[in-house]
Structure 1
Amino acid sequence: MGDRLLEHEELLRELAAVQDWPLPKRMKWAKRRRKEQFRHWKRWIETDEAQSKCARPRKNSNPPDLKFASEIVLLEASARNDVDEVIAFLDEGVDPNLTNIDGLTALHQCCIDNCVDLATVLLEHGANVNARDIEMWTPLHAASRCGHLVLVRLLLEHGADLVAVNSDGQMPYEIAETSAVLLELQEAMEKNGFDDGAIEDARNSGPLQMLSDVKELCDRGEPLSLADAHGVTLLHIAASNGYTQVVECLLTNEAAIDPRDRDGWTPLHGAACWGQYEVIELLAEYGADLDAVTGTDETPTMLASDQNITLLLHDLKTRQLERSARNKSRPRSRTFSSSSRGHSVKRDSVNKKSHFSKRDIAEEGKQFKADADSTTGDVDDVVIGSLDDENGGNASESEQSVFSTDSAEKKALRRSKSPPILIKTSDPIQEETEGENNGSMAQRDNVVQAALAPSTLEGQDSKAELVSKETPPLRRRHRSENTSGKCCTIL
């Protein structure tokens, strides 16, 4: 045993060593230290320093003007079942329906603790027999759940609501603890004419009334996301209670999807906590944040009431990610301005323009070439007609199918009446197949010369005169290096 108290650092070093000791040894060490501490205190209290300190008047920790709120003293007296003190408070004018932070009244507390005499006093002084806490429980719910038959009968005598529905959608008879309480409630319901239809109507009365109120707010154009002092909105209430129609009405009228109350809870947190499956799916469909955290860093999955809610939230999260991936992979459609400048004409470069011009010129040259070939085809008809006359008109079927069957005389006469066609070669274009054209023209000249020979065209002097020197011969186009790229003209 030491004569002095250990310093703080010494105690810390000793505690570090004590932590590794077995439990019996630690208990023995703690008792020894406690004895040393008491012995040193006893020595110190006898000193002059201790006498001077103890002689000082102590400050009053509870000043006489300190008072507690009425609801606190009333509920505290009710919890102690102090009937006389409760009567004194009620005689002073204290409201018997005062509630604590959870919405519990003194009558709720009496029904939980089975205080029949105190409950009778409260009811006689005007306590609300159908008061509701934050979970919508009435005193009859509390008495039924706790199995207090005498209190159940007392509440029914004062007009308790038999079909009141709490936040879980349960009526008092559905949560009755004992068979005696259940039988008492069922007999009272039959006596008051509550059949299955009336019970169902009563069960739906809450959501139907809220739906009617929300529609009225929409018709008046009032905001739907206003919050009370605790930050709770209409969507919080509807989602927590499972009012699917009310939730859908609020969302379709553009109510805020993720409002937060004072504790950071969103409507999805409330729906997950109270197990509202349909509401959870509806909120997720409208884009609620499935990863939102409360003020204590809790997600809806962490607040899920059971395993099925957890699986549902994971499934909805997977669907949301897949939908987001599909939207990102989908190409965006190009939008145009509504003004005329948004629909401007396409502009090309100079190189493209020159390319288009050359292509047009080439096509135009081919067209003129085809027209010239058709003109020279009339001369061929003359030659073929002469050959037919020489052979006695026995032209082959293939030749008749290709060449015209008109007589050479008619064709020559027709050409003599029409002006000759001359292709001016001052601005010719470059021929792409010059070798093939030269060969075909040379073959055609040979045929013409053979047809015009005197031995071949016997008795055809009149026809030969038509193709005389006065008729200028057809001139074919030729290449001109200086004027390549220009269009040919017809005189």
Structure 2
Amino acid sequence: MGNPRRSKAADDLHTAARSGDLTAVQSILASNPLAVNSRDKHSRTPLHLAAFSGQTEVVTYLCNHKADAGASAMDDMAAMHFASQKGHLEVVRALLSAGASLKAFTRKGMTSLHYAVQGSHLELVKYLAKKGANLGAQTKAGKTPLDLASNEEIRSFLEEFEKSAKNGELGKKDNDKDKDKAEEFDPKTSELGSEGDLNAEPPAAALDEENNARKKRKVNEDGARVESSQPKKARVKLSHLQSSDDTLEEENM
């Protein structure tokens, strides 16, 4: 047999959570802390019922007292799904702060965003999208949140948001490409190819300058060889051109 006292406490906690009776919730958990994650006949916890009813204070209190924010009821419905189904924005905020996931989906593949769109809860749709909900997530029937949008304002928002997200991603890719190109040239390493690598190939400009210098030296050397190979003119004595007066002058000196 089960523990009737524990069963009664669990039932009372579910009722208090659903109605938003925070005082009763606090009292029950003070004496029965394990009841925080107790289940009803539909496998729902007190947190599920509080989230469905939009009881933000109770949701916050339960999460702060070890309620499982990611627990699933029948059909894998989590507290986030219950809250999104009813458009309870503040409850969704509290659940996300407690660690609930935007990516969680039900047995039918429905996410929190699917439920918010289906229920035409515009502010919640905007919040979930900006928090990173997957706009392309598909249900088991292949439906995205946009496919479920019957509200024209929500449809327009989702289309514009998706377009902006794609443009932002393209802009990020372009910036990454520019950054990569800038990193290809480093003025500190341009002379050696890589910093501190003495064995690296010298730049093309340096090679051209060295080749030109070699050509000039070769031309000069070839010119010198041609000049040295030509026969030297014989020296002609000019003594016979000296005058007799010059000879006499030398003798008198």
What's the TM-score, normalizing by structure 1?
Answer: 0.25
Structure that is richer in helix per residue: 2
> Which has the higher Rg, Structure 1 or Structure 2?
1
